[in-house]
Amino acid sequence: MKTKQPLLTDAFGRAHQYLRISLTERCNLRCSYCMPLEGVQLAPKSHLMTHEEIFTIAKTFVENGVTKIRLTGGEPLIRKDFDRILNQLATLPVALSLTTNGVNVDQYIPLLKKVGMTSINISLDTLKAQRFKEITHRDYFDRVYKNMQLLLEAGLKVKVNVVLMQGVNDDEILDFIRLTEKLPYTIRFIEFMPFDGNRWHLEKMVASEKIMETITSHYGEDRVVKLKDAPNDTSKNHQIKGAAGRFALITTVTNPFCDSCNRIRLTANGHIKNCLFSQTENDLLSLLRSGKSIEPIIRKAVLGKLAVRGGMDDLEKLKNPDLHRNNRSMITIGG
């Protein structure tokens, strides 16, 4: 008798235990690599998942093997019912995590601790107040930096996501590394990735090799320690010898980690994306609202996942704008 393949295992044998849920397409910052300068067409509120629908869909994924859920956006903390969503998800047997720009996170620290969250990802691309304003078109640097410190004081682990761009913030690599010398931050350098409307080109990306060269040239190779990476980890983790914190490289462009990918994404309007770079998606929300089972569509989406970056398995394909055009902007996918 043939054994039925688990719902969340794809054609390459990858089991998906990690669900990333976007709560909103809106954000209180305007970073151009995430949101096109001209803005995006936002889905009407009626097309977005309610807190009950988020819980119902998440519960289905958990029943089929998901053990970790990350809440993203847009900026998830601007959703007015965030506390209700988080409290509901906390009743499921999963590890919960959050990616935020940090502007309002101080208001939610007691709630985050109450539900057992231990680690928060903060998106911060510069340690300079004026540059922060230029990148985000908002003047919130001091607020975000203070909130990062408050998270540490509250006993939460803080991972700082830094998208490096040539001529924008690539001169701050060592500034971020120095931050780890005294404070237990994990700085995660992320290669600039192409999405609809973000005007990506390869020359604007700072490759992980260059990042490591900058760090080892300053500290010396003997002081840069390679750490053991967790299973299915997207980041290659390192530490400066004797430092309180650590740093990591996320090499989505130059050295993708697709062979061990265990992540699947749910957009704010209830569509499942089997890969960050996929140009196709499947509508779970409409099916749920019609009273039908969403499991067949989940299975279809998972089995349709390609081996590498939505089919862009080399840099030449990645450089082809036609292969990004039918994908969403980052802000409407979820980080």
Q: Of the spans 38-42, 70-74, 237-241, 310-314, which averages the highest pLDDT?
A: 237-241
Lowest mean pLDDT among 29-38, 142-151, 185-194: 29-38
Summarised one tens digit per residue, pLDDT across range 270-310 is 999 998 888 889 999 999 999 999 999 999 999 999 998 77
Q: How far is CA 323 from CA 35, 48, 172, 307, in A?
A: 18, 26, 31, 16
For range 195-217, the mean pLDDT: 80
Quote the pLDDT of residue 331: 58
Residues 109/152, Cβ–Cβ less than 8 Å: no
Interval 36-40 mean pLDDT: 64
State the pLDDT at residue 2.
Answer: 47
SS3 228: coil
* Residue 165 predicted with pLDDT over 60: yes
CA distances from 81 to 23, 84, 302 (A): 10, 5, 29
Confidence of residue 110 (pLDDT cuts 50, 70, 90): very high
Contact between 273 and 264 under an 8 Å Cβ cutoff? The reply is: yes
Q: What per-residue confidence (pLDDT) applies to 290?
A: 98
Average pLDDT, the chain: 90
Asked if 251 contacts 236 with a C-beta cutoff of 8 angstroms, the reply is yes
What pLDDT, on a 0 to 100 scale, did the predictor assign at position 253? 78
CA distance 56 to 5: 23
Return the pLDDT at 37.
Answer: 64
Q: What is the CATH number of domain 18-333?
A: 3.20.20.70
Are the C-beta atoms of 174 and 215 separated by less than 8 Å?
yes
**Confidence band of 258 (pLDDT split at 50, 70, 90):** confident
Percent of the chain predicted with pLDDT > 90: 70
Is the confidence at residue 323, as pLDDT, over 80? Answer: no
Residues 171-198: tens digit of each pLDDT: 999 999 999 999 999 999 998 866 555 5
Bridge partners (DSSP) of residue 22 are 72
